[in-house]
Amino acid sequence: MARKGENIYLRKDGRWEGRYIKGRKMNGKAIFCSIYGKQYGEVKKKLILIKAQLCQETPAVKTYGDGTLREWGDFWLEAMARPHIKQSTWEGYGRILKNHIYPGLGDVKLTELSREKIQELVNRLQNTMAPSTLQGVCRLLKTLLQAAAAAKLIVQNPYWEIRTPKARKTPPRVLTKKEQILLEKKIDETQELEYLLCLYTGLRVGELCALKWEDVDFENESIQIRHSVQRVTAEEGGKKTKLVLNTPKTESSLREIPLPGFLLNCLREKSGRANPESREFLFPGRGGSCRDPRTMQQRLGRIMRELEIPGVHMHTLRHTFATRCLEQNMGIEILSELLGHSSPQITLKYYAHCTREKKRQSMANIERLSDQTGEG
């Protein structure tokens, strides 16, 4: 049984065999070599690493010049992308390639990939997924082909003037002031400070779960965001997952957030009650380790069902914080820094509806100067 387009085969003796081009004879004929393993995933990984090594020793065109998009994509993901991105991002790219790009284009040779074939794939995918999801697929495919063009595997990137549906921009779900008051009263009853902290700092759930007591600066009345908790695959090709403590998603996510007085008081009280054996994380999970973001979300879901408030998740609290800040005329640059966005433009993209409403209200308060002075 062969894995089409990968040169990986199941032998009669039960082992998997992977074949690769080690070089070329004087007449241009390929010189093939083989590697073996007990499992398909083992052979695939070995094959990618060997090709990566060959690519460093010889021009990429000799290794992948007549290869398929699948072969190039696997190499790019493992050797070019993986060293520079987080594991969760790497896994996400892998899923996009496997589930959306390879089924339609994986077995097409790079040199035969055309704009028309790419457009056909996009046209098919737009009937099965949301426009925003499709845009993510297209971004990855474009990046993959840009890398192939840079390696001179193809003369030019065939991804150009590809028509994609525009993602509909819908305002994020934000708690109304009445809903927020109900939630805060419930939080006071249950003493679940994590949700109050999220409501008044705009932390991402992964950042919230990763907070340590050493990140709380009582003297300067602030918290430092240095880490984020993410769930990733425990073993390559497996289904089991594990929690890992990483740096936040971008450099701008490393930030200091000043705390209002009431939050500082709550943290001081919590610090006094904290178990000395679990003093590492602010909101520890079982055994004193960091809390699982899924657990945090599930608990919030139960609270909101009790309050009969629908459509709320952890990110809703972040959106609510941002909206309340804009309602109180906080500058977009300051808000962008507090949220850990890479630029104010990103913040404006998410919360343009808030700024439009503030403009409308401001314009409604403008009066004619002649009406104010009584002069015509």
Separation CA 218–CA 282 (nearest Å): 14
Summarize pLDDT for 6-57 with one digit per residue, the tens: 678 888 888 899 887 776 565 556 678 888 998 888 888 788 777 766 665 5
User: pLDDT tens digit string along 129-146?
Assistant: 999 899 999 999 999 999
Helix/strand/coil (H, E, C) string of the chain?
CEECCCCEEECCCCCEEEEEEEEECCCCCEEEEEEEECCHHHHHHHHHHHHHHHHHHCCHHHHHCCCEHHHHHHHHHHHHHHHHCCHHHHHHHHHHHHHHHHHHHCCCEHHHCCHHHHHHHHHHHCCCCCHHHHHHHHHHHHHHHHHHHHCCCCCCCCCCCCCCCCCCCCCCCCCCHHHHHHHHHHHHHHCCHHHHHHHHHCCCHHHHHHCEHHHEECCCCEEEECCEEEEEECCCCCCCEEEEEECCCCHHHCEEEECCHHHHHHHHHHHHHCCHHHCCECCECHHHCECCHHHHHHHHHHHHHHCCCCCCCHHHHHHHHHHHHHHCCCCHHHHHHHHCCCCHHHHHHHHHHHHHHHHHHHHHCCCCHHHHHCCC
| Alpha-carbon dihedral sign for residues 325, 330, 332, 336 | negative
pLDDT of residue 246: 85
Q: How many angstroms separate the CA atoms of 132 and 295, rounded?
A: 27
Provide the whole-model pTM: 0.71
Rg (CA), the chain: 27
Give the chain's mean pLDDT. 86
Strand 222-225 versus strand 228-233 pairing type? unpaired
151 neighbors 300 (Cβ within 8 angstroms): no
Question: What is the residue extent of each domain of the chain?
Answer: 2-150, 177-362
**Residues 197/216, Cβ–Cβ less than 8 Å:** no
246 burial type by CB count under 10 A (0-12 exposed, 13-18 middle, 19+ buried): middle
pLDDT per residue of the chain (376 residues) written in tens, 0 to 9:
555 456 788 888 888 998 877 765 655 566 788 889 988 888 887 887 777 666 655 555 555 667 899 989 988 888 788 877 888 888 999 999 999 999 999 999 999 999 999 999 999 999 999 998 999 999 999 999 998 888 888 888 999 989 988 877 778 899 999 999 999 999 999 999 999 999 999 999 999 999 999 999 999 999 999 999 988 887 655 568 888 888 876 788 899 999 999 999 999 999 888 766 667 899 998 888 889 999 999 999 999 999 999 999 999 999 999 999 998 989 999 999 999 998 888 898 888 777 677 777 777 777 776 766 655 4
Q: β-strands 216-217, 222-225: how paired?
A: antiparallel
Reference 104, options 128, 129, 116, 121; nearest CA is 121
Record the tokens describing residue 97, joined without a space.
């390639």
Tally the C-alpha atoms within 13 A of residue 44's C-alpha that lie toward its C-beta: 19
97, 107 contact by CB (below 8 A): no
Task: Using the CB atoms, write b or e for 138-167: b if 16+ within 10 Å.
Answer: bebbbbbbebbeebebbeebbbeeeebeee
Domain at 2-150: CATH architecture:
Orthogonal Bundle (1.10)
pLDDT at 187: 95
- Architecture per CATH, domain 177-362, reads as Orthogonal Bundle (1.10)
pLDDT for the residue numbered 62:
53
- Contact between 54 and 31 under an 8 Å Cβ cutoff? The reply is no
Asked if residue 268 lies in contact with residue 221, where contact means CB atoms within 8 angstroms, the answer is: no
The distance from CA 193 to its chain's CA centroid, rounded to whole angstroms, is 26
